[in-house]
Amino acid sequence: MKRYIILINLLSICFFSKAQEKVFELKDSFVKFQSNKESYALPNQLTGDLMLLLEEGRQFRAHLLDNGYTNTSKISTKTIPSKYRYILGYNIEGNTYSIFFSDSWSTKFGVQTFDFDTKTAKNTFLDFKIKGEKYVESVVYNNKIHVITITKKSSDLNIYTFDKQFIPTKNTVSLKELEYPNPRSRNHTINAYYLLLSDTGGISRSVIDIEKIEGSNPNVIETTSKENKLYQFNNQLVFSFDYNHKKTQLCFIDLETFETVVKSYDKPSNTEEGYRKSNSYIFDNKLFQIASSNQKMKFTVLDLKTEKMIKEYKVTKEDTIRFKNSPIIQEGGGILPGFSENRVREMEKTSKYLRKISSSDLGISVYKVDNAYNIVLGGTKEITTSNGYTGINGFGGGFGMGGTVGGSTVAWIGFNPTFYNYSSYTTTKSTYINCLFDNNFDHIQGDIKKNGYDRLFEFEDNLDIKTKAVNIFLHKDRLHYGFFDPNKRTYELYSFKE
């Protein structure tokens, strides 16, 4: 019996060790024991190189790793002045990496450049004004940052691309096809600017509300339930808008030509009455749509290339959900497809599931594991804690947007949605089901298989240390997990296999 237990343990350790690989280790990466520590990653999209940026107090230590994770050069310098606290993105020219920062209002912009050939760093403060415009998001394509703004009270979207001297080229695209008459005022038109503003902004609606989606990762319902989403597929940006109960509107923008196409796709609620909530998600060139009420739910799959319906599934409150591969699950915290946390309840009745998701923010998440589509259908709701606090953007109290406490530099959520998505927890209650489908979207039996986030969770649980400067990011199509081990005083980086 003892031999059997030992054998099982050895097999478990062997399997677990194959799930990830240590690709880099840096000794004495941080100097001071009691100090705020952060780490960031800037993947080179063209060469596979990687810049690691370690921050301690007001000091940056930058390391350039080649495609094989060999440390080829390093630079030590002071951080950019503290008012430029938010990382937006970066440019790469050869072995020169330029990080773009902004102040908290996105009105002042600065660049910190790291030249790994000369091993020098310098700051440049840009005379870049977006007067009359509002910052929306930034994306990196072909190692160049693209800063996106919206002209106030209009449907003009502006995309700024910066050259080697950080001089911007402005391209303006029109989203006028999104506009519609304001049902409350004959003299007012609802434009793209208004659609991008958050209801949390109060009467002035002054906060831009859009969720940047990293489609290569499993995405939590807390993220995908947002009405406004931004996807990037190589050179193509896709804005999706689900404010309209009857249709999903998609805006396709080519970052090479800036050609823009706006299309509308009917939701299940457009052809059938009785649905209260709706939303959508884009994955694998397909549009997934969901609509629900406390009486019924329907989700559909549309091929965006052919614009033909592939499959649809419907369930009413009297039905058994025959296309699910998990119980109906309710969690007090955030959810990741296929992963269960401690605070979990299981439900049996379809009617209760429909009631829960239809009184929440409805969402659908899609991910592919071992040639099967893992689809999560559910809803999420913010929870107000006993002290009246509601977390912002999925983070609990005391957490910075970079994912650590008290750091001087903060990464906008859009700079690293992988980390934000992984960290989303504690302030929501979610109800959902897990489903598996083949390539024709026929339901298949089987257990939900582990994805990269599941393996990352297991890895964290097995670390018998209090990690610091944690960073999670996507590089070379793999999840990477970096952290500082205070016992060994080393910074370690692991790559996770799918």
Residue 388 to residue 444: CA distance in whole angstroms: 44
In the numeric block, which tokens belong to residue 481? Answer: 């997990």
Looking at the whole model, is its pTM more than 0.85?
yes
Residue 203 CB partners (closer than 8 Å, separation 6+): none
Position 275 in a domain = yes
Q: Is residue 283 part of a domain?
A: yes
Judged against a pLDDT cut of 70, whether residue 333 lies above it is answered with: no
Residue 134's contacts (CB-CB under 8 Å, 6 or more residues apart) are: 106, 149, 150, 152, 193, 196, 208
What is the arithmetic mean of pLDDT over 9-36? 74
Tell me whether residue 116 is in a domain: no
Distance separating alpha carbons of residues 378 and 179, to the nearest angstrom: 29
Look at residue 203 and tell me whether its pLDDT is greater than 50: no
* Per-residue confidence (pLDDT) for residue 1, from 0 to 100: 43
3-state secondary structure of 381: strand
> For all residues of the chain together, what is the average pLDDT?
87
Other CB atoms within 10 Å distance of the CB of residue 320: 9
Rounded (5°) CA angle 425-430-434 = 110
Please indicate, yes or no, if residue 282 is contained in any of the structural domains.
yes
- β-sheet bridge partners, residue 291: 278, 298
More confident residue, 427 or 41: 41
Task: Average the pLDDT over 44-68 and give the result.
Answer: 97
* pLDDT class of 399 with cuts at 50, 70, 90: very low
User: How far is Cα 248 from Cα 290, in angstroms, rounded to an integer?
Assistant: 11
pLDDT at 25: 98
Q: What single-letter DSSP state applies at residue 194? A: H
pLDDT band for 287, please (50, 70, 90 cuts): very high
- Indicate the SS3 state at residue 222: helix
Residue 387 has pLDDT above 80, yes or no: no
Q: Reduce the secondary structure of 115-127 to three states and give it as a string.
A: ECCCCEEEEEEEC
- For the chain, what is the radius of gyration of the CA atoms? 23
**Tens digits of residue pLDDT in 1-14:** 444 333 334 434 44
Give domain status of residue 164, yes or no: no
- pLDDT score of 393 more than 50: no
Whether pLDDT at 497 is above 90: no
Res 237: pLDDT: 98
Inside any domain, residue 130: no
20 part of a folded domain? no
pLDDT at residue 424, rounded to an integer: 61
Strands in 361-369's sheet, in edge-to-edge order, are: 344-347, 328-331, 428-437, 372-382, 361-369
Confidence of residue 331 (pLDDT cuts 50, 70, 90): confident
Pair 427, 394: CB distance under 8 Å:
yes
Could you list the residue range(s) of the whole structural domain that residue 428 is in? 218-225+261-384+410-450
**150-164 confidence digits (pLDDT tens):** 999 999 999 999 999
* Stretch among 6-20, 28-42, 102-116, 360-374 having the lowest mean pLDDT: 6-20
Name the domain count of the chain.
1
Distance, in Å, from the CA atom of 223 to the CA atom of 203, rounded to the nearest integer, reads 24
Question: Minimal CA–CA distance to 95: which of 59, 162, 46, 160?
Answer: 46
| Alpha carbon distance 426, 429 (integer Å) | 8
Instruction: Indicate whether 195 pLDDT > 70.
Output: yes
More confident residue, 379 or 451: 379
With DSSP H G I counted as helix, E B as strand and the rest as coil, what are the percentages for the chain, rounded to 5? 15, 45, 40
Tell me if 451 sits within 8 A of 367, measured CB to CB. Answer: yes
For residue 33, the 8-state DSSP code is: S
| Cβ atoms within 10 Å of 115's Cβ, excluding its own | 17
Tracing tokens 């996106």 back to the chain, one arrives at: 148
CA dihedral sign, ordered 351, 242, 377, 301: positive
Q: Is 78 among the domain residues?
A: no
8 Å CB contact between 214 and 198: no
Over residues 161-173, the pLDDT tens digits come to 999 999 999 999 9
Dist CA 19 CA 15 (whole Å)? 7
pLDDT classification of 495: cutoffs 50, 70, 90: very high
Is residue 351 packed enough to be buried (19+ CB in 10 Å), middle (13-18) or exposed (0-12)? middle
282 DSSP β-pair partners: 287
Answer for the pair 334, 378: CB distance below 8 angstroms, yes or no.
Answer: no
Using the predicted structure, report yes or no on whether residue 447 has a pLDDT greater than 90: yes
